[in-house]
């Protein structure tokens, strides 16, 4: 049979282990997610800048309707930037509410050594929702970039005819 000091030591180890595990995973997820989402925003922004540069280069060689065909692709890249920013904001909210989940859990001295708090369930729901929004917006940003590239390709082929 375990005594109070053994139970207390086991609880302390469990608390410390959970805290360290949570901290390391949040840091890794936060860093990699931020890098991926920032890259999406930068890639879409870079593509928009490239289209604008291309338009400046061909401005004296083509008609206004031909330019507008190329310029149309800017809509895809601007939407990709917007979705990337929505994803970044949602990722922030996911991290914020995940931290609130951890802060709302009460640590106890009896097994399983932690207990959900009054608002833990709410924080989990908001975190999940924000996470889904971040994933969908991030995927949309990638899709919009691809659509923009395909639109530019079609416009360049049309200009060549």
Per-residue pLDDT of the chain (161 residues; tens, 9 = 90+): 556 777 888 888 888 998 898 889 878 878 898 899 999 999 999 999 999 999 999 988 888 888 899 999 999 999 999 999 999 999 999 989 988 998 899 888 888 888 888 999 999 999 999 999 999 999 999 999 999 999 999 999 988 87
Q: How far apart (Å, rounded) are the C-alpha atoms in residues 41 and 140?
A: 12
Predicted TM-score of the model (pTM) = 0.78
* Beta-strand runs (E) in the chain: 106-107, 114-115
Do 156 and 50 meet the contact criterion of CB atoms below 8 Å apart?
A: no
Phi, psi of 10 (to 5 degrees): -65, -40
Structural tokens at position 72: 């149309």
């Amino acid at each position: 049979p375990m005594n109070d000091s053994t139970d207390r030591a086991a609880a302390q180890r469990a608390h410390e282990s959970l805290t360290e595990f949570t901290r390391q995973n949040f840091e890794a997820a936060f860093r990699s997610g931020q890098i991926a989402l920032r890259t999406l925003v930068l890639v879409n922004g870079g593509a928009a800048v490239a289209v604008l540069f291309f338009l400046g280069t061909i401005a004296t060689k083509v008609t206004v309707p031909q330019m507008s065909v190329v310029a149309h692709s800017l809509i895809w890249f601007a939407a990709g930037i917007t979705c990337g920013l929505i994803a970044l904001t949602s990722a922030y909210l996911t991290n914020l509410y995940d931290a609130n989940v951890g802060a709302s859990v009460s640590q106890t001295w009896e097994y399983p050594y932690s207990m959900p708090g009054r608002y833990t369930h709410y924080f989990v729901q908001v975190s999940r929702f924000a996470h889904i929004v971040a994933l969908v917006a991030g995927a949309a940003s990638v899709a919009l970039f691809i659509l923009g590239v395909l639109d530019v390709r079609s416009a360049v082929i049309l200009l060549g005819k």
